[in-house]
Amino acid sequence: MDNLGFVAVVSIATAGVTMAIGAIGPALGEGKALAQALTSLAQQPDEANNITRTLFVGMAIVESTGIYCLVISLIILFANPYWTFFVNQTVK
C-alpha cells in the first residue's frame, strides 16, 4: 500500500473511532441525566417546571460533545491537511 492509501485508511478509521467514542459518551450521559430527572419528578412533582428546564439545558450541553466529535470527524474526512500534502507529493 502506498502512502496515499495508508493516509486514507488511517483517516477513515480515525473518523470512525472518533464518532464511536463521541456517540457513546453523550448517550450514556443523557441516559443517566434522564433517569435522574424522572426520579426527581416522581419525588417532587411540584418542581416539574424547574427540573425539566434544567434537564433540557443539561441535555443540550451533553449533546454538544457529540456534535463536536461529528465536526472533528468531518474535518478529518473532508478537510484533512495530510491528505492534501500526500496528494501533492504523489503528483510530483
Assigned domain for 81 exists = yes
pTM: 0.75
Query: Please, what is the average pLDDT of the chain?
Result: 88
- What tens digit of pLDDT does each residue of 39-63 get? 999 999 999 999 999 999 999 998 8
Sign for the CA dihedral angle at 16, 20, 23, 29 comes to negative
Helix (H) or strand (E) holding 36: helix 3-43
How far apart are alpha carbons 1 and 3 in whole angstroms? 7
Assigned domain for 47 exists = yes
Assigned domain for 49 exists = yes
Write the CB contacts of 11 (distance below 8 Å, at least 6 apart in sequence). Answer: 76, 77, 80, 82, 83
Instruction: Say if residue 90's pLDDT is above 90.
Output: no
pLDDT band at 92 (very low <50, low <70, confident <90, very high): low
Number of domains in the chain: 1
Assigned domain for 19 exists = no
* Domain limits for position 64: 33-92
